[in-house]
Structure 1
Amino acid sequence: MKACFVKIILIWVAVITFAAPAYSKSKQQYYQLTVYQYATAAQETVLNDYLEHALLPALHTMGYSNIGVFKSLANDTSVIKKIYVFMTIRSIDEMVNIKEKLKKDSSYHKAGATYINAVYTDPSFTRMEVMILKAFSKAPQMQLPDLKAPKAERIYELRSYESASEKIFANKVQMFNEGGETVIFKRINANAVFYSEVVAGSHMPNLVYMTCYENKADRDAHWKTFSSDPEWKTLSAKPEYQHNVAHIDIDFVRPMDYSDF
């Protein structure tokens, strides 16, 4: 009897051990998306120097990888200019831990001195927003883009969809997940980096997702394919999915040379 019991336990341990990696791989990630707003070329220089030589090296040392840094293409003409920093985090508590580690990192402080020690009369940016995102259940992990073009040619499309109520927002998220909107994007090779629900941010309730392309012409061709796709036409025409988006923000961005992807 004892030998039989031990055998059963060993079988269960083997099953759990074998299954654990699959569960871990499918677990929904959290993301942190930081938006730096600035107005001058001098601020842009300070921000890029800080991100390239201070923040990213410090995060890499902590074990974080696949950190994306993007510049809005609208910066050339916009009064309010933007730089985005995207990274995965294992938990919301980790945000606090990162800040505490940065406080104790002498190399980080030395490399980022201009940004860190900016005075109020000469700020490094005009505003900083941090959004906490949770990956969709049907797209639980970020995906590195499969692009061949140089970074200077690539187009990343960052979209935010706001809804009129939390209930309506849940319907739009369901449209992406159970409805199969993410599946359509995957089938047409839209190179989706991530899909996410905004857990905390300044525009809620909303979702944020990012797709990417070799260049602008490639982007336009993919969206033409998407908009004319029979499955998308059927999905978007369903009565239960009508009027579930109240406002859309679209920003075309390009990765910086020092961005991880």
Structure 2
Amino acid sequence: MKRRNFLKGSALIAGAAVAGQATAKVTPPDSEKEIYEWRVYHFKNGGQKNKVDGFYRDALIPAMNEYGVKVGAFGEYSQTDPPTVHYLLVYKSMADYHRVKKALWNNETFLKQAKSYFEDTAANGVYTRFETYLLEAFDAIPQLRQPDKSRGLFELRTYESNNEEAGQRKIKMFNDEELALFDKVGLHATFFGEILAGPQMPALVYMLWFNDMDERTANWQKFVNSPEWKEMSGKAEYANTVSVVNKVFLVPLDYSQI
């Protein structure tokens, strides 16, 4: 009986040790990594866009700033018609994202400032709908890098992968090697984020800034021709990580904080 109890106890201890080792390998979420909300608005005409501009500029952005949330506002470089407008909301953490979402609808100043916009657009919609992407910042660039005031052009890139594992390997490539090369050749990073929820998954999104299109073209050429890129892109561990690359060129609106 004693031997049986001893063996049983030993098995429990061993099992606990294994469980402890497995638990130790799990990395807790980094509370310092920012959460990004990327919104894309589609309109029927430019006049409708002006109403959303006013809502963000006069009501939503001031309210978000009270909670420490910075907001970027961007139009498309191609001047598409009907227009498309992009917004980037920068939260300090996932907990902060939830806190602000709840607090906003109890903010009397915000509700008063936005009252006429809500009443008008409830009866007469101004956008067809807007898309939302929720992103978590990469380990290698956990906080947004504020671009220089000279920025005149942004490049937004979405990299889709055929499965989740391939997407994680591409994120590792950026964290371990590629982002450092971006910095070296003048591909100025604004943010990098993994899509946690959105229409395109699995995928990652990042945004670069440039003074103009000429600088963008020249610096991408430096990247493509660099020996570092040729070496890392040939590594087996990074094979088949990206299936589709989507690019959008953006310009900052006059009330953008990024």
For the superposition of Structure 1 and Structure 2, which TM-score range results when normalised by the shorter chain?
Answer: 0.7 to 0.9
- SS of the residue aligned with 1:57? helix
**Residue 77 of structure 1: aligned partner:** 80
**Residue 127 of structure 2: aligned partner:** 125
Separation in structure 1 between the aligned mates of residue 102 and residue 187 of structure 2, nearest angstrom: 37
87-96 or 182-191: bigger deviation: 87-96
- SS of the residue aligned with 2:156? strand
Paired residue for 2:221, among 216, 219, 224?
224
Q: Report how far residue 93 of structure 1 moved.
A: 4.0
Separation in structure 2 between the aligned mates of residue 198 and residue 43 of structure 1, nearest angstrom: 29
Paired residue for 1:50, among 43, 51, 55?
55
CA 1:62–1:198: 2 relative to 1, 3 Å: same
Larger Rg: 2
Q: Report how far residue 77 of structure 1 moved.
A: 3.2
Gaps of 5+ in 2: 1-29
**Residue 213 of structure 1: aligned partner:** 210
**Residue 163 of structure 1: aligned partner:** 161
Quick check: 2:35–2:97 contact (8 Å CA) kept in 1?
no
Quick check: 2:32–2:93 contact (8 Å CA) kept in 1?
no
**Residue 11 of structure 1: aligned partner:** none
**Residue 31 of structure 1: aligned partner:** 36
**Residue 188 of structure 2: aligned partner:** 191
Q: Report how far residue 193 of structure 1 moved.
A: 0.5
**Residue 137 of structure 2: aligned partner:** 135
- The number of equivalent residue pairs is 229
Quick check: 1:46–1:114 contact (8 Å CA) kept in 2?
no
Separation in structure 1 between the aligned mates of residue 42 and residue 121 of structure 2, nearest angstrom: 17
Quick check: 2:162–2:242 contact (8 Å CA) kept in 1?
yes
Separation in structure 2 between the aligned mates of residue 239 and residue 62 of structure 1, nearest angstrom: 45
Separation in structure 1 between the aligned mates of residue 175 and residue 40 of structure 2, nearest angstrom: 26
**Residue 255 of structure 2: aligned partner:** 258
Separation in structure 1 between the aligned mates of residue 103 and residue 114 of structure 2, nearest angstrom: 14
- Structural mapping, 1:234-249, within 5 Å: 234-249=231-246
Separation in structure 2 between the aligned mates of residue 239 and residue 102 of structure 1, nearest angstrom: 47
**Residue 93 of structure 2: aligned partner:** 91
Separation in structure 1 between the aligned mates of residue 95 and residue 129 of structure 2, nearest angstrom: 23
Note the aligned Cα RMSD (angstroms): 2.1
Quick check: 2:31–2:93 contact (8 Å CA) kept in 1?
no
**Residue 7 of structure 1: aligned partner:** none
Quick check: 1:168–1:244 contact (8 Å CA) kept in 2?
yes
Given residue 154 of structure 2, which amino acid in structure 1 is its aligned partner? Y
Separation in structure 2 between the aligned mates of residue 40 and residue 113 of structure 1, nearest angstrom: 23
Identity of aligned residues (%): 31
Separation in structure 2 between the aligned mates of residue 145 and residue 184 of structure 1, nearest angstrom: 18
- SS of the residue aligned with 1:32? strand
CA 1:212–1:70: 2 relative to 1, 3 Å: same
Separation in structure 1 between the aligned mates of residue 126 and residue 103 of structure 2, nearest angstrom: 22
Paired residue for 2:114, among 91, 112, 115?
112
Separation in structure 1 between the aligned mates of residue 66 and residue 38 of structure 2, nearest angstrom: 19
Gaps of 5+ in 1: 1-24
Given residue 74 of structure 2, which amino acid in structure 1 is its aligned partner? F
Given residue 169 of structure 1, which amino acid in structure 2 is its aligned partner? G
Given residue 141 of structure 2, which amino acid in structure 1 is its aligned partner? A
Quick check: 1:30–1:132 contact (8 Å CA) kept in 2?
yes
